[in-house]
Amino acid sequence: MAVTENPAEETAADPTKPLSVSETALATVLEVRAQEDDPANTALKVAITGSNMTEFQYALELLAIAEAADDDLVYSQGPKDELTVIIPADSAKNMLGSTLDVPAANTPGGLVIRNPNSPDPLEGLDIELEGELPEQIQQVLDQAINPALASHGGYATLVGVDGSKAIVTMGGGCQGCAASAMTLRDGITKMLKDALPQLTEVIDATDHTAGENPFYT
């Protein structure tokens, strides 16, 4: 399964081919595809399945080219157009300019997706905010942020508000998690500031050394 890495440099975006495949990744995919019953008519499908607030999550699969949906983007990659790629229509916009590649040296994993795009944490959510700033912050936590963190066994709690600054702690599986500080900075902070433009800062008051059973280590 592919993971996301930040792109080393921006890839030229072609809306008809939102995901490019590097030479090294192409070799890996073709090696796996060679084990299929009909390699020449087998495509690589890459779809966005969700996000963890800071990065998109993906599903990669090999399937017959004929199984592509009518609105899928279907195109070739490789110097000899050796590989057919299928991108679902609802994934194409958020994959524009992405590259399927192999991890950096000494990094485990088979393939990575370097995507210059990031999720919109509030996309698809209909949050009606009421009351003063502390109440509004709590509503965003309850309705948007904590449901996303719950899949990791974690949660975020509002400690208080200092003027235009929100003080937040993370608990459960997020406390002691190596990625929780980044989640707070890149995910929770963005979500709160997008929903509440009057916020100038989100302060992490979590004691990350106290987590006993973090979801990630």
Q: For the chain, what are the domain ranges?
A: 3-114, 133-204
Tokens representing 187? 């995910």
Q: Residue 19, exposed/middle/buried by CB under 10 A (0-12, 13-18, 19+)? A: buried
The reported pLDDT for the residue numbered 157 is: 92
Give the E-state strand segments of 103-145 in sequence order: 112-114
Tokens representing 196? 């509440």
Apex CA 129: angle with CA 128 and CA 130, to 5°? 120
The reported pLDDT for the residue numbered 166 is: 95
Read off φ and ψ for residue 97, nearest 5 degrees. Answer: 90, 5
Apex CA 90: angle with CA 118 and CA 155, to 5°? 45
What is the domain class of 3-114 according to CATH? mainly beta
Look-up of token digits 């990350």 = 208
Read off φ and ψ for residue 184, nearest 5 degrees. Answer: -65, -45
Is residue 29 within 8 Å of 45, Cβ to Cβ?
no
**How far is the C-alpha of 58 from the C-alpha of 53, rounded, in Å?**
13
Cα–Cα distances (Å) from 66 to 72, 84, 213, in that order, read 11, 11, 46
Read off φ and ψ for residue 86, nearest 5 degrees. Answer: -120, 125
The list of the chain residues with pLDDT below 50 reads 1, 3-4, 6-11, 175, 212-217
The reported pLDDT for the residue numbered 183 is: 58
What is the distance between the terminal CA atoms of the chain, rounded to a whole angstrom? 19
What is the CATH superfamily name and number for domain 133-204?
Answer: Fe-S cluster assembly (FSCA) (3.30.300.130)
Apex CA 148: angle with CA 144 and CA 150, to 5°? 120
